[in-house]
């Protein structure tokens, strides 16, 4: 195992250095980059579903279900980026988020449930139901942004 460990160590060092984060404990700005990355990836998927819902793109039930599934996979990853030590780091989060972490965690749970429901509904292929649950999911996003994100 010693050689394996050594080799792995070198590879990891190269990787983490390149990715710009410390392996042992993330820096506050890395927490910001992590959560913004996950949220942007969610937005990427939500945006494409939104284009279908709004009629800016043709409705494709299979693609919609794929995007919903990805959103459901991403949503449980968000919370971890709001580490306590990232409260002061430059970001769009309002500081009161950390003063109301119980509420924020509840909202993240609600988001998980909403995105999971969207993925489940999308499996069914009913366009009306998908659009309805999409609207409800987006409301969860929006309410939390209104409360805890600076106006952009």
Is residue 83 a contact partner of residue 101, using CB atoms and an 8 Å limit?
no
Query: How many Å apart are CA 152 and CA 145, to the nearest integer?
Result: 10
Cβ within 8 Å of residue 132, ≥6 positions away: none
Give me the 111-150 binding string for its own copies, x by CB under 8 A, dash otherwise. -----------------x--xx-xx--xx-xx--x---x-
Q: For residue 21, how many other CB atoms are within 10 A of its CB?
A: 17
Interface residue with its own copies among 27, 73, 94, 117 (CB under 8 A) is: 73
Angle at 68 between CA 66 and CA 70, to 5 degrees: 70
Is residue 109 a contact residue for its own copies (CB under 8 A)? no
Is residue 16 a contact residue for its own copies (CB under 8 A)? yes
Q: Catalog residues that contact its own copies under the rule CB under 8 A.
A: 1, 4-5, 7-9, 11-24, 26, 30, 33-34, 36-41, 43-44, 46-48, 50-51, 53-57, 70, 73-74, 77, 128, 131-132, 134-135, 138-139, 141-142, 145, 149, 152
């Amino acid at each position: 195992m010693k050689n394996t460990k050594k080799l792995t160590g070198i590879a990891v060092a190269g990787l983490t250095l390149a990715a710009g984060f410390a392996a042992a404990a993330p820096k506050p700005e890395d927490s910001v980059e992590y959560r913004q990355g996950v949220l942007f990836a969610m937005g990427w998927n939500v945006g494409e579903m939104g284009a279908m819902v709004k009629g800016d793109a043709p409705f494709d039930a299979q693609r919609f279900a794929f995007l919903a599934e990805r959103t459901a996979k991403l949503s449980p990853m968000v919370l971890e980026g709001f580490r306590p030590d990232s409260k002061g780091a430059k970001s769009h989060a309002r500081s009161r988020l950390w003063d109301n972490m119980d509420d924020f965690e509840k909202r993240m749970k609600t988001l998980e449930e909403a995105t999971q429901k969207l993925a489940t509904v999308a499996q069914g292929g009913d366009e009306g139901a998908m659009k309805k649950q999409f609207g409800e999911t987006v409301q969860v996003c929006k309410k939390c942004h209104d409360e805890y994100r600076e106006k952009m």
